[in-house]
Structure formats: structure tokens, C-alpha cells
Amino acid sequence: MCTGRIDLAFVFRAFLNGADAVFIGGCKLGECNYITHGNYHALSMANLSKKILEHIGLNPDRLRIEFMSSGEGIRFAEVMNEYGKKVKELGPLGQAEGLKEDDVKSKLEEVINLIPYIKIAEREKLATKLDTIEAYNSLYSGDEVAKLLGEVTSYYIDPAKCQACGTCARRCPMEAIDGGKNKIHIIMQDKCIRCGTCFDNCPPKFRAIQKLAGEPVPPPIPEEARTIVRQAKGT
């Protein structure tokens, strides 16, 4: 599999499933057999992942990416032996970092839930092709990642403004909006990927979608309060 297909979710799910470290091996930069040069994308993704690991209190050395050709069997063996020793030194995930198992699991689950949002927010950088590994290593800063995860954008439908037109529900790529005829719509936050499609498509005359940054989303209104009672024309 081309390293360009490796997703942020693959890395963090591996840790969530009990891996103490993750190793990514790919073909040499600049020597892609096709035209995708997916290993550059993998390098960018790996560096972002390492910064996220550091942000949540895990050693970024638990993730490693190396580039080599299929003919470098000796080098591959050397790298794996060296990294195997490093992983043993690191110990079980979270233990050396002083984190409880439940805390590690909670932090990883939170990151996994935010991955669709992270990929949207960082899509330009993730697609950037730079000239050197050093340039990739400095692409993401700790402050940037802290802001990214600390000021997560969420969306909320103001029940006082929603007219149940259905535009947001029809455009939502994740079917994360619950509603119906004459029924105030709500965003199911557990399914929302925070892409902003609903915000962009809500009719300007209603402006029912609110964009929230770094603040909790209000709870949805009770089911019995979601019916919109309209006056008949001429009354």
C-alpha cells in the first residue's frame, strides 16, 4: 500500500487498540513509481501526528517514519532493530508519560473524533509538497496544534431561527442533521465533522446556523418543543 493512503485515523486507532508504537515505512522521497508522490503526504501527516501526540502528553517518538527502497533489506533490518530497542525503552503506552490507561484512552478517542475536522482545517498544509525533510519537520508548531485542538469549531442550529426548510439537512455530507417538515432541525454532534457545509448553505434570510469556536455547544431542545406551528395565510 502506498504510504499516501495512510490516514491520521490509522495512526491513532493503532494506539487506541493497544500499540505502544507505530512505524511507517515508505519508498524514498522523489522516487515514486507513479505520479502521486504519496510519501510526501505521509511525511506531512506523520509530523502532524507527532505534534498531536506531544500535545496530548504522549512521547512523539512512539511514531516513526522512514523512507527506503525495496532493495535495502539490510538497512530495513537495522532500522527495525534500532526502533525495537527504542520502543522497549519507551515502555507501555502512557506508562512512561505518567498517564493512567483510562486517561490515554480518553485522549486518543477525543483526537479520533476530531480527525475529520483536523483534516479539513489542515488540508492545505497536508497537501503541501516541500523540498526537504527538514522543511516538513518545521511545518507544524506546538502552538498551532494547541490552538487547533483548543479552539475547535462547532456548529449549532438556533431553534428560534430555524424554519425547517431542510436545506442544511439535504447538503450535509454526513447526514448529521435531524429534522423534518415543520420540525426544528438539530445537528447530531457525534456525527458532525465540522465541515461548515450547513453554515455555508443556510438561507441568509434565516441565518439559523451558528458557528462556535472553543465553546461548548448548547444542548438540543426537547423533542416536544421542536414542532413549528405556522399561521395559516390570511389569518
Taking only the tens place, the pLDDT of each residue in 199-209 is 999 999 999 99
Q: What is the mean pLDDT of residues 168-175?
A: 95
Strand, coil or helix: 179: strand
pLDDT of residue 54: 96
pLDDT of residue 234: 62
Residue pLDDT, tens place only, 178-231: 999 999 999 999 899 999 999 999 999 999 999 998 788 999 999 999 999 887
Tell which CATH architecture fits domain 153-225: 2-Layer Sandwich (3.30)
Closest to 6 measured CA to CA, from 52, 70, 57, 63 = 63
What average pLDDT does the chain have? 92
pLDDT of residue 167: 97
Sequence-distant (≥ 6) Cβ neighbours of residue 73 within 8 angstroms: none
pLDDT of residue 38: 80
Q: Identity (one letter) of the amino acid at 91?
A: G
Sequence-distant (≥ 6) Cβ neighbours of residue 102 within 8 angstroms: none
**What would the DSSP string read from start to end of 4-53?**
GG--HHHHHHHHHTT-S-EEEEEPPTT--SSS--HHHHHHHHHHHHHHHH
- What's phi and psi for 97, nearest 5 deg? -85, -5
Residue pLDDT, tens place only, 6-63: 899 999 999 999 999 999 998 888 877 776 778 888 899 999 999 999 999 999 999 9
pLDDT of residue 220: 92
Biggest CA–CA distance in the chain, Å, is 85
SS (H, E, C) 119-140: HHHCHHHHCCCCCCHHHHHCCC
For the chain, residues classed under CATH 3.30.70.20 are 153-225
pLDDT of residue 232: 74
